C-alpha cells in the first residue's frame, strides 16, 4: 500500500525504525515490531515497524528518518510503497569494517550491539554511530559497516544469537557502487531540529511549492514569495531550519554572513552579493541564506548615501531580479527584527516573517533528546526533568549542557585511560556512560 512520508518522531530512536499508524499497520497485516519493506523507484529499505504515537491521528503516514529518506531518494510528503517483509533471524553475519578504526578488543561484540534488532542484507552498508555525538564538534561519527554475507541469505535481522564475523574485504568484490547509500551522512535533517515543527513546515511549504510547481503561481497570477525572514534570539535554530529545509528539498545552499560581508569584503560588498546570487542561479533550485541581515540592511535614516545604503539597494535589485520562476529563495535571519531596513520587509521581498522563539519545556525535551541521541546515558538520567528546569535555555544552550555532561563523563574515565595507547578498548567504549550527576554538574555551570 502507499503511505505518505513524514519525519520520524524525535522521541523515537533512529536506527532502523519506521513509525506507522494503527490503521495502516492493520491493512499491511504487520504487528508492532515486525518488518516492512519500503520502496521508492527501484530503491528499497527494510525497517522495523513501530506503532506511531501521532497525536493528530493521521492515517496513511509512515515516519522514517533522514538517513532512510536519503537512501530511498524520497522526501517528506511523497508517497512510498510499503509492504510487510519476511525477515529471518540471522545465524551469522559477515561484515567488513573500515581499516584504522583505532579500537581494539571485542569489536565484533561492539558492532553486534550496534546492529541489534536491525534488518540488514548482504551488499548493503549500514552506518553505525559511535560514541558521543557532539564531543569533537563533528555532528556524527559514523562507521560504515559493510554487510558481505549472511546466513541464511537475503534480508535478516540481527538477534542475540547472531554471530558476527569481521572479515577482510573480499578481493573479488565488484567495485561498482552498491545501491545503498546509507553510509553517506544525510546532512541536517528534520530529526535534528527540536521543538520547531510548525516553523519548519511553514518555511518548507513556502519554499517548496514555488520550486516544484511554479505554474501554480503563474496560473493564479501571483508572485511566488522570494524571501523569508526568520527572527528570534540567537541560538534558537534559525540556521538549522534553513539548512534542514534546503537539505530536505534538495536545494543548493549559499551562505552570506551579514557582518562578514560588511567588514571582510569592505568595498566589495555589492560585488560579493552579486557573486553569491549568480552562483545560486547556476545551481538552482537554491536557497540564499543571509545570516544577521540587520548588519547589511540596518534601518536607513541617517545612513543615506552610505555603504549600507548601496548594499541594501544591491540586495533589493538582486531579489527583484530573481523573477517569478520561484527557483531561488532568500532566507534572512536576524535577532533584531526592528533593526531591519523596512524597504526589505515590503511586499515581494521578505514578505514572510517567521518568529523562532525560545523553546518551551516540550521543545527543550526534544532538543535534549536530539543531542543525546548517540550518547550512552545512564539509567538515572532524566531528560524530561532537565527540560522542565531549564526555562529560558535556547537550543544552543542545551547543546552545550549536553556537551559539558559528556565532558564530565570523560573526565571520570580519564584516569583509567592509557593516553599513550594507539587504540582504545572496545570494552572501555562500551562502559562509557553519562550519568545524572554529570548532567547536574553541567547544569550548574
Binding site for ligand ADP (CB under 6 A): 193-196, 234-240, 333, 367, 370, 395-396, 399
H or E segment and range at residue 291: strand 286-291
180 or 239: whose CB is closer to ligand ADP? 239
Least distance in angstroms from the C-beta of 198 to ligand ADP: 12
Q: Tell me how far apart the alpha carbons of residues 134 and 155 are, in angstroms, rounded to a whole number.
A: 32
Our CB check for ligand ADP shows the closer of 114 and 133 to be 133
**For residues 298 and 395, which CB has a smaller minimum distance to ligand ADP in the complex?**
395
Burial class (CB in 10 A: 0-12, 13-18, 19+), 240: buried
178 φ/ψ angles, rounded to the nearest 5 degrees: -75, 160
Which is closer to ligand ADP, CB of 261 or CB of 370?
A: 370
- Are the CB atoms for 66 and 191 separated by under 8 Å? yes
Backbone angles phi, psi at 71, to 5 degrees: -55, -40
**Cell 506507522 maps to which residue?**
20
**CA pseudo-torsion sign 307, 308, 309, 315:** positive
Q: What angle do CA 207, 241, 321 make, to 5 degrees?
A: 40
Side-by-side strand order, sheet with 163-166: 125-129, 142-151, 92-96, 163-166
> Whole-angstrom Cα distance, residue 21 to residue 438?
37
CB 149 within 8 A of CB 166: no
Which residue number places its CB atom closest to ligand ADP? 395
SS3 label, residue 214: helix
How do strand 43-51 and strand 35-40 relate by DSSP bridges? antiparallel
Residue among 297 and 368 whose Cβ is closer to ligand ADP: 368
Nearer of residues 191 and 341 to ligand ADP, judged by Cβ: 191
Grid cell at residue 422: 594507539
Nearer to ligand ADP, 114 or 364 (CB): 364
Cβ at position 268, least distance to ligand ADP in Å: 25
- Which residue number, 28 or 394, has a Cβ lying nearer to ligand ADP? 394
The Cα 202–Cα 237 span in angstroms is 14
Nearest distance from C-beta of residue 396 to ligand ADP, angstroms: 4
Q: How far is the CB of 233 from ligand ADP (least distance, A)?
A: 7
Tell me the closest approach of the beta carbon of residue 19 to ligand ADP, in angstroms: 20
Residues 16, 117 contacting (CB under 8 angstroms): yes
Smallest distance, ligand ADP to C-beta of residue 425, A: 30
Q: Minimal distance in Å, beta carbon 443 to ligand ADP?
A: 17
Q: 334 has which bridge partners?
A: 231
> Looking at beta carbons only, is 80 or 293 nearer to ligand ADP?
293
CB of 408 to ligand ADP, least distance (A): 19
Number of other CB atoms surrounding residue 384 within 10 Å? 13
CB of 53 to ligand ADP, least distance (A): 19
β-pair partners for 287: 253, 329
Amino acid at each position: 500500500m502507499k503511505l505518505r512520508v513524514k519525519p520520524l518522531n524525535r522521541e523515537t530512536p533512529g536506527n532502523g525504525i519506521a513509525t506507522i499508524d494503527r490503521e495502516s499497520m492493520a491493512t499491511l497485516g504487520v504487528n508492532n515490531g515486525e518488518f516492512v519493506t519500503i520502496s521508492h523507484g527501484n530503491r528499497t529499505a527494510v525497517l522495523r515497524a513501530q506503532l506511531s504515537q501521532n497525536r493528530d491521528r493521521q492515517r496513511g503516514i509512515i515516519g522514517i528518518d533522514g538517513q532512510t529518506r536519503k537512501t530511498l531518494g524520497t522526501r517528506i510528503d511523497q508517497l512510498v510503497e510499503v509492504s510487510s517483509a519476511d525477515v529471518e533471524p540471522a545465524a551469522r553475519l559477515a561484515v567488513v569494517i573500515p581499516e584504522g578504526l583505532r579500537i581494539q578488543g571485542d569489536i565484533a561484540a561492539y558492532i553486534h550491539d550496534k546492529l541489534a534488532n536491525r534488518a540488514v542484507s548482504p551488499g548493503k552498508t549500514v552506518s553505525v554511530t559511535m560514541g558521543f555525538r557532539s564531543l569533537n564538534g563533528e555532528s556524527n561519527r559514523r562507521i560504515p559497516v559493510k554487510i558481505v554475507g549472511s546466513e541464511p541469505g537475503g534480508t535478516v535481522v540481527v538477534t542475540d544469537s547472531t554471530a558476527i564475523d569481521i572479515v577482510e574485504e573480499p578481493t573479488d568484490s565488484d567495485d561498482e557502487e552498491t545501491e545503498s547509500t546509507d553510509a553517506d551522512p544525510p546532512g541536517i535533517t528534520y530529526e535534528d531540529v527540536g521543538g520547531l515543527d510548525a516553523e519548519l513546515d511553514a518555511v518548507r511549504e513556502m519554499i517548496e511549492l514555488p520550486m516544484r510547481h511554479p505554474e501554480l503561481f503563474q496560473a493564479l497570477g501571483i508572485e511566488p514569495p522570494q524571501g523569508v525572514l526568520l527572527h528570534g534570539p540567537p541560538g534558537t535554530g534559525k540556521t538549522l531550519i534553513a539548512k534542514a529545509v534546503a537539505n530536505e528539498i534538495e536545494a543548493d545552499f549559499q551562505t552570506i554572513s551579514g557582518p562578514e560581508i560588511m567588514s571582510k569584503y569592505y568595498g566589495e560588498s555589492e560585488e560579493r552579493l552579486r557573486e553569491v546570487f549568480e552562483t545560486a542561479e547556476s545551481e538552482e533550485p537554491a536557497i540564499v541564506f543571509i545570516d544577521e541581515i540587520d548588519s547589511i540592511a540596518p534601518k536607513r535614516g541617517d545612513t543615506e548615501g552610505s555603504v549600507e545604503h548601496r548594499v541594501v539597494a544591491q540586495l533589493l535589485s538582486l531579489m527583484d531580479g530573481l523573477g517569478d520562476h520561484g527557483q531561488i529563495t532568500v532566507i534572512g535571519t536576524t535577532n533584531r527584527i526592528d533593526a531591519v531596513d523596512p524597504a526589505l520587509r515590503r511586499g515581494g521581498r521578505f514578505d514572510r516573517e517567521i518568529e523562532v522563539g525560545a523553546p518551551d519545556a516540550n521543545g527543550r525535551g526534544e532538543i535534549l533528546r536530539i543531542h543525546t541521541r548517540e550518547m550512552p546515558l545512564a539509567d538515572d538520567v532524566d531528560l524530561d526533568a532537565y527540560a522542565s528546569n531549564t526555562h529560558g535555555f535556547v537550543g544552543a544552550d542545551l547543546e552545550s549542557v549536553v556537551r559539558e555532561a559528556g565532558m564530565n563523563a570523560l573526565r571520570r574515565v580519564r584516569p583509567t585511560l592509557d593516553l599513550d595507547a594507539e587504540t582504545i578498548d572496545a570494552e572501555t567504549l562500551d562502559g562509557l556512560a553519562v550519568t545524572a550527576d554529570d548532567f547536574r554538574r553541567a547544569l550548574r555551570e
